[in-house]
Structure 1
Amino acid sequence: MQVPHALVGQVFTWQQVVFGLFFVFCLTPWASPPIALALGLVLAQTVGNPFPTHTKQLTHKLLQFSVIGLGFGMNAHAAVQAGKQGIAFTVVSIFGTLGLGFLVGKWLGLGRRVVHLISCGTAICGGSAIAAIGPVLGAKDEEISVGLGTVFVLNALALFAFPPIGHALHLSQNQFGLWCAIAIHDTSSVVGAAATYGNQALEVATTVKLARALWIIPVAIGTALAFKQPGAKIKIPYFIFGFVGAMLLNTFVPAAKPLGPPLVGLAKIGLTVTLFFIGAGLSAKVVLGAGIKPYILGILLWLVISTGSLLVILHTA
């Protein structure tokens, strides 16, 4: 039970005070995406998140606005080049992951819907893909929770692990950006890891990842047919078009150029706060509630796609 305390004339619990201090720190220049995620995880495992409903609602919107803001710092010509380079990786990795997920899930004896959710989350864009595919699949709330819990834990690991691995292997900015976009599940962690590595890596990773996210649409249609869900509603990630619009303005409209640096700065702060919110939602209950088998599936798929794509990138990009 949280005991309320008076502070500047208002009554707050210790949960709210700690949350507020961490939140304010995430707005400062000293915070980075990995630090923000770590603070969220510390909060979740200690005093707990006092605003779970609010942070869950804000995370999705804040990520969308942050991604659109990043578009004001990107060049359309460079983005087209990055998109061309990443399309072959995208197609092969998506269908390869879905096929491998089906086989491994069958071997583990997991439910067909849980397997498909985790496979889609790994193949396309993590939590966004699971949230979009779940209703089309007719998945139950607990099945969606298992899928989300699995990919969010692996996202957290990737955000910390990928930049040191990239430096150890002397990956170029382009190579690291491609690797992040293919091998990290969620857009938030892709952008967070790439931003830590460098601006060019960020540009490549964001462009390729958002192009990859558009595969939600054909995969959702295929899911509706495979699982016999006629008339199922498909959620289209419209914010991607906002990102493209911002990028086109920054490239072709000289008057928009001065807006770029402040908007990109705000977008990076928004991304940092987003990762703090995500970490704050990963309580022990969420982490352990999925059981061991979904994690085995998620880890195997993640290891295959991350090592396989890294080997290809090292030899071709």
Structure 2
Amino acid sequence: MHIKKYVPGIFFTLLLAYISMFFSGLIPYNLIGAGVFALLIGMLLNPVISKYTFFDAGLGFTSKKILRLAIVLMGLGLSFKQVMEVGKFSLFVMIFTLATAFGGGYLLGKLFHMNWKLSSLISAGTGICGGSAIAAIAPVIEAEESDIAYGISATFIFDVLMVILFPIAGRYFHMSDLGYGLWTGTAVNDTSSVVAAGYAFSDMAGKLSVIVKLTRTLSIIPIVLIFSYINERLLRKEARLAMGNEEVASTRANEGVNIRKIFPWFILMFLGMVIIKSLGFVPESVSHSLSNMSKLFMVMSLGAIGLRTNFKKLAKSGFTPMIHGFIISALVVVVSFLVQMMFGQI
């Protein structure tokens, strides 16, 4: 492993993180969190930074590995009771949000005459976890690269708006940390955006929103298996129509399913840290220090994601997928809010 190639990108995100925390401190009531500043400043700097390839390795490492490390370390600041309490109710809310994302996505896809694969990718990104879900499902339905780009673009742009609007809405509705964490964790798409929106409200809301998001991420596995089955059935149907042979069977779709590869193992590590903390093996002073380190790592990772985001490429994705993604995302936001209001969590 050539460590030197990672240093420039990691160091730049560290510098961006401290700059973002400085700007965040200037905003009254912590209305705009450091993660939001890191994400937005990173996107503004992308046209310049992208010209220097020596940043690439470090930025990629920070946006993926360090974000996961931050989430794992976060477990040392939580008790097992909190995880079980929040995760239990989030599963109930997810039934409604996932049904909204995939049911609404299917209907809108038909209405807009969209490719079912593109429509499904947008629904998965909205209902589960943004780019991670899209990347996991794309191989098993044999999606085109353009569909993947459209899907990620459609969900990401909405997430950028939600990172800014969610904290404002949460304060307007006088939401509790628990209610806001549940709302953000079930309605915002990508993990990085959940982190940014959650911590922009409060530290506890940020922690709770990530717990909910991690619970929601687990739905990748059954969803991938379902779409693998759907794609296989469609391939067999196409083959029968093309060849007129009832015995033709296609198994290519199954080849894309690799549970070991798509399973988010860092979730188990996160839960392991929670158990260690709950059993009292970690002193409070150490837990506090690692919790602060976790926050820094999160801001760094959000900055790296911003630095790797090219607005021109997003603009080329087209208009219809954006409308599709925006409507589905908005429906999920509303449904999540209404379900929690009905059960007294707001």
Partner residue of 1:116? 120
Q: Which of 160, 185, 196 lines up with 1:181 in the alignment?
A: 185
Is 1:232 matched up with 2:264? no
Sort the Cα spacing of 1:292 and 1:57 in 2 relative to 1 into closer, same or farther, 3 A: farther
Return the alpha-carbon distance in structure 2 between the equivalents of residues 295 and 96 of structure 1: 17
Q: Which of 263, 282, 301 lines up with 2:290 in the alignment?
A: 263
Q: TM-score, normalised by structure 2?
A: 0.81
* CA apart distance, 1:142: 2.3
Alignment check: 8 A CA contact 2:80 2:275 kept: yes
Counterparts of residues 47-126 of structure 1 (less than 5 Å): 47-49=48-50, 50-51=52-53, 53-54=56-57, 55-126=59-130
Partner residue of 1:39? 41
> Aligned residue pairs: how many?
300
Q: Percent identity?
A: 27
Larger of the two Rg values belongs to structure: 2
* CA apart distance, 1:256: 5.2
Return the alpha-carbon distance in structure 1 between the equivalents of residues 12 and 49 of structure 2: 14
Partner residue of 2:239? none
Return the alpha-carbon distance in structure 2 between the equivalents of residues 302 and 255 of structure 1: 39
Gapped regions of structure 1 (runs ≥ 5): 1-15
Q: Secondary structure at the match of 1:254?
A: coil
Q: Which of 268, 275, 292 lines up with 1:241 in the alignment?
A: 268
Counterparts of residues 218-229 of structure 1 (less than 5 Å): 218-228=222-232, 229=253
Partner residue of 1:152? 156
Is 1:314 matched up with 2:341? yes
Alignment check: 8 A CA contact 2:117 2:143 kept: yes
* CA apart distance, 1:47: 2.6
Counterparts of residues 131-150 of structure 1 (less than 5 Å): 131-150=135-154
* CA apart distance, 1:173: 0.9
Alignment check: 8 A CA contact 1:124 1:215 kept: yes
Sort the Cα spacing of 1:147 and 1:258 in 2 relative to 1 into closer, same or farther, 3 A: same
Sort the Cα spacing of 1:22 and 1:128 in 2 relative to 1 into closer, same or farther, 3 A: closer
1:166-188 CA distance string (max 9 Å, x none): 11111111111011011100111
Q: Secondary structure at the match of 1:137?
A: coil
Gapped regions of structure 2 (runs ≥ 5): 1-7, 25-33, 233-252
Return the alpha-carbon distance in structure 1 between the equivalents of residues 60 and 112 of structure 2: 31
Is 1:208 matched up with 2:212? yes
**Matched residue type, 2:48:** V
Greater mean deviation of Cα atoms: 278-287 or 219-228: 278-287
Partner residue of 2:132? 128
Return the alpha-carbon distance in structure 2 between the equivalents of residues 262 and 215 of structure 1: 32
**Matched residue type, 1:33:** G
**Matched residue type, 2:296:** I
Is 1:25 matched up with 2:16? yes
RMSD between superposed Cα atoms in Å? 2.1
Return the alpha-carbon distance in structure 2 between the equivalents of residues 282 and 174 of structure 1: 31
Moved over 4 A (4+): 19-23
Alignment check: 8 A CA contact 2:96 2:335 kept: no
Alignment check: 8 A CA contact 1:48 1:283 kept: no
Return the alpha-carbon distance in structure 2 between the equivalents of residues 64 and 141 of structure 1: 26
Alignment check: 8 A CA contact 2:191 2:213 kept: yes
Q: Secondary structure at the match of 2:81?
A: helix
**Matched residue type, 1:233:** V
